[in-house]
Chain A
């Protein structure tokens, strides 16, 4: 493999290095030069976390073969400020609260820098357009655009430099004041190290062999050829687990590596470690796994039927959890009702798509403490589970939570930390694993797909007499957070409405799909989607305004929930009032409207996406006037 000789100027310093020809500029900057401010969020040019300037032009460094860097001048986020200081733009990101998890922020800062270099007077629309190649999952973008506008105005003298400074606390109190985040400078400067940015001497890289089958018995695994590859330092499978295998948030049904059988496509079967990630990756092809495929089930309702393929021996009915709630007598309530409305609602699987793919670094320290650094959202629970799995006392297991580059619930499960621990124990060397975006999507928990059957009985005046709700969720191949999600879905299934007769059943079901787990709202979204849509349909059938039907049934101060909790104070009516006002709601039953709704469009409404703000500029339309 003839190496390339790369001579370039990076952040003002001359660099001359040999580089493997297949590297991308991103690999060269991060791994060879240690500029980890450029992140890898997708590796496919979609997300913009890796943006750097090459000869003054902003590029996505994951799409640039390193050979193209020869003879160029490169600027990374670390090179923007001088001697650790922050540029006006970085200060504006700090002030505006434009960073949350921070993983997209170096790329955002770079794209915003490029935008203001191209047009120091760029309008908000032009800023949006020029930042179009960068994705953020936390902020909703508005704070980022605020920050770029603030920087533009300070640099053009439209706002004073003091606009970037911390605001004084109100009457000495920070509550109610706009306080800058303490951790923002490390994010806007690219200094913050996420797990995938961390390195240790003699560190190995882990590559994972994954199941191509949704459901199959593992007949045999032969790792001998992979182990014989020069440069391979270790191979692990389920046989390397010394203790009681099994993890999960509620039920410990998932082995560190597939044991006896695989239950979904992408499940980890074996892993290889090498100093060279390419060697580890290539060695995966040398592992011989013989599978005997088993019938698989991909639909939660089918999985509940007798005779369906069984995923876990302990659960022959494939039920992870059934949560029943009974209040009053629903049949009586339906009999008393003037109107019965029955509908079915379904929601789909959703990926969290945090910008930071899962990553971790594990080592066994000088005292024999197995240490795992990872963006885990649940380190104490992980520590207890791992202690049992690796048969070590809790004092010999340590979890360190690295900065979480977005989690949203998706990093609650211990899906890869166990593999890292096993490999560190086996090789006695530090081991790092960084998921590709594809691995992250294929193997980690998703939002539960749901199917809700809703039957509601109402009086002609809109009062709800009874609701029978059955929500069936596809939990996928392992339990993960399914039990908790089903509990919350059940508790909230009938919404914040006082209903005398309620029957709720939520079911989390095993299937051979990608496991479902925690995701923001944790089961509430699925049942609320059903409840609120159902109420709109009921309002239409009763000729009521959708706000009115909610006000009639809303829980009020002192209400008792369907699970017997007394609510001292309920803000439901105030929330309805506020929503009705800001949405400029056109009062009336859904059936009362003509062809045109007057509450659509207007002030505060987002216009459709357009592009081409810069054409308007070049046509003589002054972007400064938009600025002012």
Chain B
């Protein structure tokens, strides 16, 4: 049971920082609350008494959503469901709709926020691999010496371990900025114990852009979660794939590469099997999506061969 004496709902960053300063050490930030409330139950944290909860989900700046041709800027309180139903976001972040549809369920996605998913820093946090693949940067803000100061940290550096980040106690995650990758083919793979409402055992985000001839990769971005303490980019696979044609043999070779990275605490053999399968299916789906139905016949044949 989550017990608080006071629940504050600031409507501006100024108000939020004032509340944080006033209740330093005795407060906790809440946005969607979809992880906080289940956490404060028997078997996890048990009854938790926090003097003051500060709800940042009503701060307009944290709901900002902008996508131009190059960059996307997302307020930290953006609900996960927007990746599914906002066409501008879906176009700029091609792996995110699939990520969102596997995330919890329709109801929880309306409350759960992308910022919350990031600061939770779960090794299996679903929203993290796709954003890493977009070279996301998080914007952190604090009020120091009377004025609001901001800094930007690459997402891959922000998350330092299971549940740990470089967020300072007086800081808030206010926004995420990342590359807009319209025209890329995106895919997202996830497996858990059932279809809805599960934590990923492994999740994988793939984003690819084909070259003009449609036979090689112009760009490949891969990021994976659930196989170690933090989600990570698969840079070695990316550079391998970038240096040759898209063929069945090369995709199979690439799919086997991250298998050795599995360093989870449990179920390593199972995860190794999954990783290879996810890599193949994720790459194939992403290539097909990138091709938009105009794959060269030999590439289409090759993809079929990999599936068989």
**Shortest CB distance A56–B (Å):** 10
The CA-CA distance from A62 to B111 in the complex, in Å, is: 12
B106 contact from A21, A22, A24, A130, Cβ within 8 A: A130
By a CB distance below 8 angstroms, the chain A residues around B184 are none
* B9 at the A interface (CB under 8 A): yes
Are B105 and A132 in contact (CB-based, < 8 A)?
yes
Q: Which B residues between 39 and 57 are near A, CB-CB below 8 angstroms? A: 41-43, 47, 53, 55, 57
The CA-CA distance from A446 to B41 in the complex, in Å, is: 22
The CA-CA distance from A132 to B102 in the complex, in Å, is: 10
6 more contacts with CB within 8 A, not counting A44-B41, A111-B106, are A59-B107, A63-B37, A133-B106, A281-B1, A442-B42, A615-B97
Q: What string of 1s and 0s marks CB contacts (under 8 Å) between B1-14 and chain A?
A: 11111110100000
By a CB distance below 8 angstroms, the chain A residues around B38 are 43-46, 63
The CA-CA distance from A62 to B98 in the complex, in Å, is: 26
The CA-CA distance from A59 to B37 in the complex, in Å, is: 14
**Shortest CB distance A276–B (Å):** 12
Are A2 and B34 in contact (CB-based, < 8 A)?
no
Q: What string of 1s and 0s marks CB contacts (under 8 Å) between A43-62 and chain B?
A: 11110100100000111101
Contact segment of B17-25, B147-155, B192-200: B192-200
CB<8 Å pairs between A and B, sample of 16: A21-B53, A22-B1, A44-B38, A45-B104, A45-B107, A46-B38, A48-B107, A60-B108, A65-B7, A65-B33, A70-B9, A114-B107, A278-B1, A281-B47, A436-B42, A609-B195
Q: Which A residues between 262 and 291 are near B, CB-CB below 8 angstroms? A: 278, 281
**Shortest CB distance B106–A (Å):** 6
* A367 at the B interface (CB under 8 A): no
* B234 at the A interface (CB under 8 A): no
Closest 4 CB pairs of A and B: A133-B105, A132-B196, A21-B7, A44-B38
* B30 at the A interface (CB under 8 A): yes
B37 contact from A4, A21, A62, Cβ within 8 A: A62
The chain B residue sitting closest to A50, CB to CB, is B107
Q: What string of 1s and 0s marks CB contacts (under 8 Å) between B181-201 and chain A?
A: 000000000000011110000
* A325 at the B interface (CB under 8 A): no
Are A43 and B41 in contact (CB-based, < 8 A)?
yes
The chain B residue sitting closest to A133, CB to CB, is B105
* B88 at the A interface (CB under 8 A): no
By a CB distance below 8 angstroms, the chain B residues around A64 are 33, 111
Interface size class of B (residues with CB under 8 A): 35 or more
Are B106 and A58 in contact (CB-based, < 8 A)?
yes
* B110 at the A interface (CB under 8 A): yes
Q: What string of 1s and 0s marks CB contacts (under 8 Å) between B203-226 and chain A?
A: 000000000000000000000000
The CA-CA distance from A1 to B3 in the complex, in Å, is: 11
The chain B residue sitting closest to A437, CB to CB, is B41
Are A133 and B5 in contact (CB-based, < 8 A)?
no
By a CB distance below 8 angstroms, the chain A residues around B245 are none
| CB contact under 8 A between A24 and B37, given known A2-B6, A57-B110 | yes
The chain B residue sitting closest to A285, CB to CB, is B47
Q: Which A residues between 6 and 61 are near B, CB-CB below 8 angstroms? A: 21-22, 24, 43-46, 48, 51, 57-60
* B101 at the A interface (CB under 8 A): yes
Are B98 and A63 in contact (CB-based, < 8 A)?
no
- Tally of chain A residues near chain B (CB < 8 A): 40
By a CB distance below 8 angstroms, the chain A residues around B7 are 4, 21-22, 65, 67
By a CB distance below 8 angstroms, the chain B residues around A132 are 105-106, 195-197
| CB contact under 8 A between A63 and B33, given known A22-B7, A133-B196 | yes
The chain A residue sitting closest to B87, CB to CB, is A618
The CA-CA distance from A111 to B196 in the complex, in Å, is: 14
Are B108 and A133 in contact (CB-based, < 8 A)?
yes
* A68 at the B interface (CB under 8 A): yes
The CA-CA distance from A570 to B193 in the complex, in Å, is: 40
**Shortest CB distance A289–B (Å):** 17
**Shortest CB distance A67–B (Å):** 5
Are B3 and A46 in contact (CB-based, < 8 A)?
no
Q: What string of 1s and 0s marks CB contacts (under 8 Å) between A230-253 and chain B?
A: 000000000000000000000000
* A611 at the B interface (CB under 8 A): yes
* A438 at the B interface (CB under 8 A): yes
By a CB distance below 8 angstroms, the chain A residues around B97 are 615
The CA-CA distance from A485 to B84 in the complex, in Å, is: 50
* A172 at the B interface (CB under 8 A): no
The CA-CA distance from A614 to B90 in the complex, in Å, is: 13
Are A60 and B107 in contact (CB-based, < 8 A)?
yes
**Shortest CB distance B56–A (Å):** 12
Are A612 and B101 in contact (CB-based, < 8 A)?
yes
The CA-CA distance from A305 to B146 in the complex, in Å, is: 73
Are A59 and B33 in contact (CB-based, < 8 A)?
no
| CB contact under 8 A between A63 and B106, given known A22-B7, A24-B37, A438-B42 | no
By a CB distance below 8 angstroms, the chain B residues around A46 are 38, 197
Are B4 and A21 in contact (CB-based, < 8 A)?
yes
The CA-CA distance from A439 to B46 in the complex, in Å, is: 12
Are A22 and B4 in contact (CB-based, < 8 A)?
yes
Q: What string of 1s and 0s marks CB contacts (under 8 Å) between B228-271 and chain A?
A: 00000000000000000000000000000000000000000000
The CA-CA distance from A130 to B57 in the complex, in Å, is: 25
The chain A residue sitting closest to B81, CB to CB, is A57
**Shortest CB distance A4–B (Å):** 6
B2 contact from A1, A22, A614, Cβ within 8 A: A22
Are A609 and B111 in contact (CB-based, < 8 A)?
no
The chain B residue sitting closest to A70, CB to CB, is B9
By a CB distance below 8 angstroms, the chain B residues around A48 are 105, 107
